[in-house]
Amino acid sequence: MNDLIIGMAGSGGDGIISAGESLIGAVAAEGYYGMLTKSYGPQIRGGESSCRLRVSTLPVLNPGGSLDVAVILDWDDFLRFGSELPVTEDTVIIFDVKSGVDRTSLPLNALWPKVLCGVPLEDMAIKAAGVQQAKNSVILGLLAGWLGLSPDSLLAGLRKKFARKGDEVLQGNERAFAAGLGHARVNPLRRNLRLDRPAAPLKRRVIADGNELCAKGAIAAGCTFFGGYPITPATEIMQHLQTDIWEHGGVVLQAEDEIAGVGAALGASFAGKKAMTATSGPGLSLKTEMLGLASVTELPLVCVDVQRGGPSTGMPTKCEQADLFAAVFSAHGDTVRPVLAPTTVADTYGLTVEAFNLAEQYQTPVILLSDQDIAQRKEIIDPVDPSRLSLVNRLEPTPEELKDYTRFRLTPSGISPLSHPGMKGGNYLAAGIEHDEHGAPTANGEIHGEMNHKRLVKFLPLRQRHDLFVMEGDPDSPLGIIAWGSVAGIAQEALRIVRAEGLDARLMIPKLLYPIAEEVFADFFAPLTRCIVFEQSHQGQLYRLIRMWVKVPPQFESYARSGANPLSPEDFVSQIRKLSRAGLRTEHADRADFLNPL
């Protein structure tokens, strides 16, 4: 096999996530590509946990569809994940014989897997290590034997993990691993799951998640201040920064709440520093007033929103793409702020740098819309090369301009030089109230109109940034696909599948979601008679946003699904085929016939 998907589920404390991280470390050491996604129940402590690992000899674009292998320590916990861990009759089911389930009582809704492996996981762990917590090491041994992985790579990971816990714990887990490996060799599977060897020669790769690379990207961009508050699934950004930022002369402030965090970051920007805050949906709601202040005072600020299920507290541990409207519209008055979205873990690094560049160039808050999937999944990637990135710093006043400094001077570009405290002659008033060119408060309607124009006209060049859009496929095809964020990788794989079947299509992946780049979309739509937008939100928010600004093809459809209902390449392929068949029946159907019924 050259592509394999493994899913595991159990209770908190079973070591499911640790086992997944050990596996991805081992396959990376052997030269494979991989992607590890993690999922938890909504409890603060305890509860169910799961992970799924996709391993391939080629770069991995998404977590994939149905499982090839399911490891089940607790059936109730496994079933709580529902469609997140889909199984078919071809899935190899590995479970603990002490679970009380046998071949005649599988709780899988009349689904009967061809290969069912009951293993005395708990008994083997206790016999080898003296504690049942070593079950995850038994599982690693089983998978090493059945998948053909090098035991040395997995043992190296175990030794690194347990070295700090003493020789007794380490040796117990090594014996548990050996027990699982021996069981696999004596009891071969009736389905071949052994992975092909990687085709390319082994080269150095790294394992990282999106939150980690967001933090590293911020430091590379020159960020020296972070103000924030812990919130799932964005907290790790602050944790990574507080480990590294001090080496670059920076500071992390964990504030008392979300509002204080963004307020401190905005104050640091006013003081001349590149500053950032990070949050998730509920925190973005609280930060909106300060983001509006950043807009009217024209101060650079990066706000990362790692999307999770909503509304309100919603589903903190599940992925969703439903904060787009909040990112774009949650500001009163005529306010525009750039919204960017990374598509992969590696992409998060470069797009975080781009967010700082746009914030500095346009003197504006910028929202980086990550999501729980990208932020917390681990990917095996090639090392990021910071030298390929260019940095932008804010426009500062010249000595001549400081002789009679006019902070909000009306300029053709809409961008006026920005000073900071301590700059001789650069003092100015920065307040949320409307102001004239000097920053003095005003209620004059004519001046208000001029300032609105200033704050909006500066974004016109941004809407011409074709490089913030990825295009794949046949540029002349009448069939178009649009996807963004973590869903983009699913669409890329689906495109490759349908093109291999002889179906022409073209894919657009926008990394700039707002302001809408009307000309870029118009060029993409020009040859199209039909197009579908894939996203993980109930309303299909990007689909609706595009319709507000751009003339769309005659058949313009939305395929949207609420969070915690995973999307797969197979889902997309079936929808693309369906739209293609509909296009053959009618190339010029009335657009109203294809409106999303929501």
The Cα 307–Cα 391 span in angstroms is 26
Total number of domains in the chain? 3
Residue 158 lies in a domain: yes
Residue 439 lies in a domain: no
From the list 368, 339, 364, 363, the residue with the least C-alpha distance to 353 is: 368
* Residue 591 confidence (pLDDT): 38
Are 225 and 351 found together in one domain? yes
Residue 73 lies in a domain: yes
User: Residue 9 — pLDDT band, cuts 50, 70, 90?
Assistant: very high
Among 94-98, 343-347, 426-430, 507-511, whose mean pLDDT is lowest? 94-98
The Cα 71–Cα 69 span in angstroms is 7
- Whether 293 shows a pLDDT value over 80: the answer reads yes
Percentage above 90 pLDDT, the chain: 80
Are 41 and 105 found together in one domain? yes
Are 300 and 246 found together in one domain? yes
* Residue 589 confidence (pLDDT): 40
381: left (phi over 0), alpha (psi -120 to 50) or beta: beta
Are 162 and 255 found together in one domain? no
3-state secondary structure 429-445: CCCCCCECCCCCECCCH
The Cα 472–Cα 487 span in angstroms is 15
The Cα 316–Cα 280 span in angstroms is 9
Contact 177, 140 (CB under 8 A): yes
Are 509 and 555 found together in one domain? yes
Domain stops at, among 370, 388, 406: 388
Question: Cβ–Cβ contacts within 10 Å for residue 15, how many?
Answer: 23
The Cα 377–Cα 52 span in angstroms is 10
Residue 505 lies in a domain: yes
* Residue 593 confidence (pLDDT): 41
50's tokens? 């799961």
Residue 483 lies in a domain: yes
- Whether 199 shows a pLDDT value over 60: the answer reads yes
- Whether 200 shows a pLDDT value over 80: the answer reads no
Question: Which pLDDT tens digit goes with each residue over 485-502?
Answer: 999 999 999 999 999 999
Angle 500-581-570 from CA coordinates, rounded to 5°: 50
User: Residue 587 — pLDDT band, cuts 50, 70, 90?
Assistant: very low
Contact 345, 210 (CB under 8 A): yes
User: Residue 511 — pLDDT band, cuts 50, 70, 90?
Assistant: very high
- Whether 444 shows a pLDDT value over 70: the answer reads yes
Task: Please report the sign of the dihedral spanned by the C-alpha atoms of residue 382, residue 387, residue 390, residue 394.
Answer: positive
H or E element that contains 349: helix 345-362
CATH number for the domain including 566?
3.40.50.920
Among 118-122, 157-161, 233-237, whose mean pLDDT is lowest? 157-161
CA distances for 25 relative to 19, 157, 518, angstroms: 10, 7, 43
The pTM for the full model equals: 0.94
Rounded mean pLDDT of 227-231? 98
Query: What burial class does residue 399 get, using C-beta atoms within 10 Å of its C-beta: 0-12 exposed, 13-18 middle, 19+ buried?
Result: exposed
- Whether 594 shows a pLDDT value over 50: the answer reads no
Per DSSP, helices labelled H in 73-193 are: 75-80, 121-129, 135-147, 151-162, 167-186
223's tokens? 């960020």
- Whether 374 shows a pLDDT value over 80: the answer reads yes
* Residue 586 confidence (pLDDT): 47
Rounded mean pLDDT of 219-237? 97
Domain stops at, among 388, 405, 427: 388
Question: Which pLDDT tens digit goes with each residue over 469-482?
Answer: 999 999 999 999 99
393's tokens? 């710093």
Residue 222 lies in a domain: yes
Are 181 and 217 found together in one domain? no
- Whether 101 shows a pLDDT value over 60: the answer reads yes
Percentage above 70 pLDDT, the chain: 96
Are 130 and 30 found together in one domain? yes
* Residue 201 confidence (pLDDT): 63
Query: What burial class does residue 505 get, using C-beta atoms within 10 Å of its C-beta: 0-12 exposed, 13-18 middle, 19+ buried?
Result: buried
Residue 516 lies in a domain: yes
Rounded mean pLDDT of 367-385? 95
Domain stops at, among 388, 423, 439: 388
From the list 541, 65, 556, the residue with the least C-alpha distance to 341 is: 541
The Cα 346–Cα 214 span in angstroms is 9
From the list 590, 577, 536, 581, the residue with the least C-alpha distance to 559 is: 536
- Whether 513 shows a pLDDT value over 80: the answer reads yes
Are 242 and 314 found together in one domain? yes
Rounded mean pLDDT of 120-136? 92
The Cα 84–Cα 251 span in angstroms is 38
Domain that holds residue 295: 207-388
Q: Any residues with CB less than 8 A from the CB of 190 and at least 6 apart, and which? A: 114, 115
CATH number for the domain including 105?
3.40.920.10
* Residue 44 confidence (pLDDT): 67
Residue 493 lies in a domain: yes
* Residue 53 confidence (pLDDT): 97
The Cα 307–Cα 183 span in angstroms is 42
Average pLDDT, the chain: 93
Question: Cβ–Cβ contacts within 10 Å for residue 148, how many?
Answer: 15
Question: Which pLDDT tens digit goes with each residue over 157-179?
Answer: 888 888 888 889 999 999 999 99
Rounded mean pLDDT of 357-373? 98
- Determine the residue type at 342: P
Rounded mean pLDDT of 454-474? 97
The Cα 269–Cα 303 span in angstroms is 12
CATH number for the domain including 300?
3.40.50.970
Contact 79, 73 (CB under 8 A): no
The Cα 452–Cα 462 span in angstroms is 17
Are 218 and 353 found together in one domain? yes
Are 297 and 371 found together in one domain? yes
Are 115 and 225 found together in one domain? no
Are 141 and 249 found together in one domain? no
